[in-house]
């Protein structure tokens, strides 16, 4: 990794600190972002991602901890003195200015030449497909257009750090898909560093180099999109990342000669050769009472000889089919890349390979293993 641009050290945010019901929005957050990196803060609403972003921008004070940008502590500075640019979820364009004036606003105060400003605005407007509304006022354009104008106003600035708060939440799916690629290219080409707050994992996957998954104010995992998927650190990330979500079942292990048996609910028993698991993992599984196994939907194989499961939904989506069935007292979803015909009510066979199992502790949710070897 190259030079660290942003460093969050043990950040806490407590709202209503002095009241009887303080709310701990962010807990002991450590995070660093390298120069030129795009990081996504991903989580559902109330997970602390927006509070974190607002603390970096300076709109919220940290309750404790330090924020360093390029090694300089900024957490006590006013927003304007941190040299960060932000695109707001609520647009916050200046109503008396046209879209063009809004976008150029920060450049004007930087005293750039007029031609230079016009060129830059034209370029970013083209990128975000808002060329035709540059002369309009914020009040007369749609929410999606306002959002893109706000995004343009942030991206055009030459700041140390660009903060993007749900930058594409108001856009239509097709436009979102198109702009994702363009925005990533724009940021990478200029070597900008960006932090993106989103609840949409497709967006995080497509844009970010690394994703910080947050829940309940706690950082769950900070890793590359690929690792989040292949090596989830705990049950939360495991089930949060991935679409459709990971199938999970409580299970108990039992040694049986050369085999290792995993007992699931409803009398379902998965039998694997003991050699499929590393020795320390086997010991761990046999010594723990219950644990949770997780299988990604694409790894759920439907084979005639498998464990019986009763289909209750079969949805063809054009490029793939989602088959949902009752299995071990729960729903199991299998993603097929062909047009599978399993009518509701039909019994299918389910096969789960040992190498596709993720195993988590039942109490803490921490990952034991991925694909047969300890995590």
Partner 1 sequence: MSHIKLKNLVKRFKDTEVLSGIDLDVPEGSTLVLFGPSGAGKTVLLRCIAGAVEQDDGEVRIGGEDVTDVLPEHRGIGMAFQNFALFPHMDAFDNIASPLTACGKTADQIRAGVDTVARLLKIDHVLTHTPKALSNGQKQRTALARALVSHPKVLLLDDPLRNVDAKLRFEMRLELPRLLADQGATVIYVTQDYREAMALGDRIAVLDGGRIIQNGTPEEIYRRPATINIAKLFGDPTINLLDVVPQSDASGVYATLSDCRIQLDPGLSGNVGRECMLGLRPEALSFTTANEGVPVTIEAETPFNEKAVTLVTTLRKREILVSRPAETPAPASGTAHITIDPRDAVLFDRQTGVRLDPNGTSHAAEKAA
Partner 2 sequence: MDHRSPLERVLRALALTAIVVFFMFPIFWIVLMSLQTNETILRSPPSMSFVPTLKNYAAIISGELDSNAGSMSIHFMNNLLNSVLLSVFSVALALLLGVPAAYAFARHKFRGSEDIAFTLLSFRFAPPLLVLLPLTLYFQALGLANTYLGLVWVYQLICLPLILWIVRGYFEDISPDIEHAYRIAGHGWFATFRKIALPLAGPGIAAAGLLAFIFAWNNFIFALVLASADKQPVTVGALAFVTASGIQYGQIAAAIVMSIAPTLLLALWAQRYLVEGLSLGAVKG
Instruction: Report how far residue 329's alpha carbon sits from residue 127's, in angstroms, rounded to the nearest whole number.
Output: 50
Interaction of residue 3 with partner 1, rule CB under 8 A: no
Choose, by CB under 8 A, the member of 136, 261, 298, 301 that binds partner 1. 298
Instruction: Report how far residue 286's alpha carbon sits from residue 205's, in angstroms, rounded to the nearest whole number.
Output: 36
Interaction of residue 77 with partner 2, rule CB under 8 A: yes
Candidate ranges 3-11, 72-80, 115-123, 255-263; the one touching partner 2 (CB under 8 A): 72-80
Choose, by CB under 8 A, the member of 13, 282, 284, 296 that binds partner 1. 296
**Inter-residue contact 175 to 97 (CB < 8 Å):** no
Which of partner 1, partner 2, none interacts with 60 (beta carbon under 5 to 8 A by kind)? partner 2
Instruction: Report how far residue 249's alpha carbon sits from residue 251's, in angstroms, rounded to the nearest whole number.
Output: 6
Q: What secondary structure does DSSP assign to 250-303, as a single string? A: EEEEEEETTEEEEE-GGG-EEEEEGGGS-HHHHHHHHHSS-EEEEE-GGGEEEE
Structure-token pair, residue 244: 């459709």
Interaction of residue 248 with partner 1, rule CB under 8 A: no
Choose, by CB under 8 A, the member of 1, 10, 17, 59 that binds partner 2. 59
Write down how long the chain is.
Answer: 375
Interaction of residue 373 with partner 2, rule CB under 8 A: no
**Inter-residue contact 197 to 168 (CB < 8 Å):** no
Instruction: Report how far residue 165's alpha carbon sits from residue 17's, in angstroms, rounded to the nearest whole number.
Output: 25
Interaction of residue 294 with partner 2, rule CB under 8 A: no
List the alpha helices (DSSP H) in 140-191.
143-155, 173-189
Interaction of residue 68 with partner 2, rule CB under 8 A: no
Candidate ranges 29-37, 92-100, 282-290, 309-317; the one touching partner 1 (CB under 8 A): 309-317
Structure-token pair, residue 281: 């993992």
Choose, by CB under 8 A, the member of 58, 167, 232, 294 that binds partner 2. 58
Interaction of residue 340 with partner 1, rule CB under 8 A: no
Closer residue to partner 2 in complex, CB, 29/55:
55
Interaction of residue 78 with partner 2, rule CB under 8 A: yes
Looking at the chain, the number of H-run helices and the number of E-run strands are 9, 21
Interaction of residue 343 with partner 1, rule CB under 8 A: no
Structure-token pair, residue 3: 């030079």
Choose, by CB under 8 A, the member of 173, 191, 267, 305 that binds partner 1. 173
Ranges within 188-247 binding partner 1 (CB under 8 A): 199-202, 205-206, 225-226, 229, 239-240, 242-245
Which of partner 1, partner 2, none interacts with 177 (beta carbon under 5 to 8 A by kind)? partner 1
Structure-token pair, residue 350: 């389910």
Instruction: Report how far residue 54's alpha carbon sits from residue 26's, in angstroms, rounded to the nearest whole number.
Output: 12
Residues 9-48 as x/- pattern, contact with partner 2 by CB under 8 A: ----------------------------------------
Interaction of residue 337 with partner 1, rule CB under 8 A: yes
Instruction: Report how far residue 310's alpha carbon sits from residue 325's, in angstroms, rounded to the nearest whole number.
Output: 5
Choose, by CB under 8 A, the member of 1, 76, 286, 373 that binds partner 2. 76
Instruction: Report how far residue 89's alpha carbon sits from residue 193's, in angstroms, rounded to the nearest whole number.
Output: 19
**Comparing C-alpha atoms, which of 330, 353, 362, 349 is closest to residue 266?**
330
Binding site for partner 1 (CB under 8 A): 44-45, 172-174, 177, 199-202, 205-206, 225-226, 229, 239-240, 242-245, 296-299, 312-313, 315-320, 322, 324, 331, 333, 335, 337, 344
Binding site for partner 2 (CB under 8 A): 58-61, 76-78
């Amino acid at each position: 990794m190259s030079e660290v641009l942003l460093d969050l050290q043990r950040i806490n945010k407590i709202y209503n600190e002095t009241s009887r019901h303080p709310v701990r929005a962010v807990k002991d957050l450590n995070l660093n972002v390298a120069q030129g990196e795009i990081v996504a803060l991903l989580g559902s609403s109330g997970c602390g991602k927006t509070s974190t972003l607002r603390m970096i921008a300076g709109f919220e004070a940290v309750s404790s901890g330090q924020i360093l940008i390029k090694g300089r502590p900024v957490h006590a500075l006013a927003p304007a003195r941190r040299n960060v640019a932000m695109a707001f979820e609520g647009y916050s364009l200046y109503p008396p200015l046209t879209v063009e004036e809004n976008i150029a606003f920060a450049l004007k105060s930087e005293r750039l030449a007029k031609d230079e400003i016009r060129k830059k605005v034209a370029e970013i407007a083209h990128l975000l497909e808002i060329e035709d509304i540059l002369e309009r006022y914020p009040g007369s354009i749609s929410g999606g257009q306002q959002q893109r104008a706000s995004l343009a106003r942030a991206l055009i600035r030459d700041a140390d750090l660009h903060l993007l708060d749900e930058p594409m939440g108001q856009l239509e799916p097709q436009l979102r898909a198109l702009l994702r690629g363009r925005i990533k290219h724009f940021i990478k080409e200029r070597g900008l560093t960006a932090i993106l707050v989103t609840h949409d994992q497709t967006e995080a996957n497509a844009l970010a180099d690394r994703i910080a998954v947050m829940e309940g104010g706690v950082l769950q995992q900070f890793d590359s999109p690929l690792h989040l998927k292949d090596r989830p650190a705990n049950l939360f990330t495991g089930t949060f990342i991935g679409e459709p979500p990971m199938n999970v079942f409580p299970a108990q292990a039992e040694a049986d000669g050369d085999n290792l048996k995993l007992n699931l609910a409803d009398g379902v028993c998965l039998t694997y050769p003991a050699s499929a698991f590393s020795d320390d993992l086997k010991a761990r599984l046999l010594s723990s009472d219950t644990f949770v196994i997780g299988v990604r939907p694409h790894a759920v194989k439907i084979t005639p000889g498998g464990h019986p499961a009763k289909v209750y939904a079969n949805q063809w989506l054009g490029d793939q089919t989602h088959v949902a069935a009752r299995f071990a007292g729960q729903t199991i979803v299998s993603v097929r890349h062909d047009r599978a015909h399993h009518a509701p009510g039909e019994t299918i066979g389910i096969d789960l390979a040992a190498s596709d199992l993720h195993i988590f502790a039942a109490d803490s949710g921490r990952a034991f293993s991925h694909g047969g070897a300890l995590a």
